[in-house]
Amino acid sequence: MRHSLSYGGVPAEPKFRNPRPSKPEIMVVADISGSVASFARFTLQFIHAMASQFSRVRSWVFIDGIDEVTHFFEESDDVADAVQRVNAEADVVWVDGHSDYGHALEIFHERHAREVTPKSSVLVLGDARNNYHAPQAWVLEDLRKRGRHVYWLNPEPKGYWNSGDSVIGEYAPHCDGVYECRNLRQLERFVTAVIDT
């Protein structure tokens, strides 16, 4: 008791642990239409190879319809095999099999918006070439409010953005970052830029 007087009379010396930052949950929404299929395949492989860095990785793929494909990765130890199953079995055609980001994002929001939490980072992969459909950018705005971050990886060179049917300019204001990403060096730059956020 006498020794505790140096602690203000408390008979124990309290020790505090620094809080550990929790691992984020990653929700990947990837366009797998013909123009970006190889990019989506590569990025899905990369994200799932890094799965140990996140508390959970969930994935959806779309063209004009959208389908969750997380189970393909959970059922296989071979990421390449899982991606092959995604390409063969995912239900991603709604009408005509031409990219419709707006419709796919609306369906994602309708089915899964409530699952986006302050721990969730949403990662959209695609060129934002929307075939002149309505972009429904409000979906990203809402996901950004619900979640931790929204990022967009675009495999097209920046010089092509917002040309023709590209609507990346409609989506960019609702993202924490939009990155040109066509190769490993650019992907590494993206990872380095967001690793501390």
Mean pLDDT of 40-60: 79
Establish if 2 belongs to a structural domain. no
φ and ψ at 4, to 5 degrees?
Answer: -70, -15
Q: Which two tokens stand for residue 166?
A: 């590209």
Beta bridge partners of 30: 61, 125
In the prediction, which pLDDT does 98 show? 82
Q: Which one is predicted more confidently, 163 or 76?
A: 163
CB atoms within 10 A of CB 98: 16
Establish if 97 belongs to a structural domain. yes
Q: Provide, rounded to the nearest whole percent, the portion of the chain with pLDDT above 70.
A: 86
**Closest alpha carbon to 112 in 149, 139, 82, 74:** 139
pLDDT band at 20; cut points 50, 70, 90 = low
CB 26 within 8 A of CB 121: yes
Helix (H) or strand (E) holding 145: helix 138-146
Q: Which two tokens stand for residue 162?
A: 């917002």
Flag the least confident range among 43-47, 152-156, 175-179: 43-47
Q: How many domains does the chain have?
A: 1
Establish if 62 belongs to a structural domain. yes
Q: Which two tokens stand for residue 119?
A: 């721990």
Phi-psi region of 187 (alpha: psi -120 to 50; beta: other; left: phi over 0): alpha
Q: Which one is predicted more confidently, 8 or 75?
A: 75
Establish if 18 belongs to a structural domain. no
User: Quick check: 4 pLDDT over 60?
Assistant: no
pLDDT band at 14; cut points 50, 70, 90 = low
Establish if 55 belongs to a structural domain. yes
CB atoms within 10 A of CB 12: 7
In the prediction, which pLDDT does 173 show? 97
Establish if 10 belongs to a structural domain. no
Establish if 162 belongs to a structural domain. yes
User: Quick check: 197 pLDDT over 70?
Assistant: no
The pTM assigned to this predicted structure is 0.83
Structural domain for 98, as ranges:
23-194
User: Quick check: 79 pLDDT over 90?
Assistant: no
Q: What is the CATH number of the domain that holds 47?
A: 3.40.50.410
Establish if 115 belongs to a structural domain. yes
